[in-house]
Amino acid sequence: MIADKFNRSLRDLRISVTDRCNFRCPYCMPAEIYGERY
């Protein structure tokens, strides 16, 4: 298993092929910035 510099294991990897994300998930569009209903 791969670990980061804080020794946390990395289980998932997300790769973006473009600079624009077409998903409305909390990873790309956090509610603190975009609001709950965006």
Per-residue pLDDT reduced to its tens digit, 25-36:
777 788 888 887
Per-residue pLDDT reduced to its tens digit, 3-18:
889 999 988 877 777 7
DSSP three-state, residue 31: helix
What pLDDT shows up at residue 28? 76
Does the predicted model carry a pTM greater than 0.75? no
The four Cα atoms 12, 17, 20, 22 give a dihedral, to 10 degrees, of -60
What pLDDT shows up at residue 7? 92
Distances (CA, A) of 22 to 19, 28, 32, 35: 10, 9, 19, 17
The answer, yes or no, to whether residue 38 has pLDDT greater than 70, is no
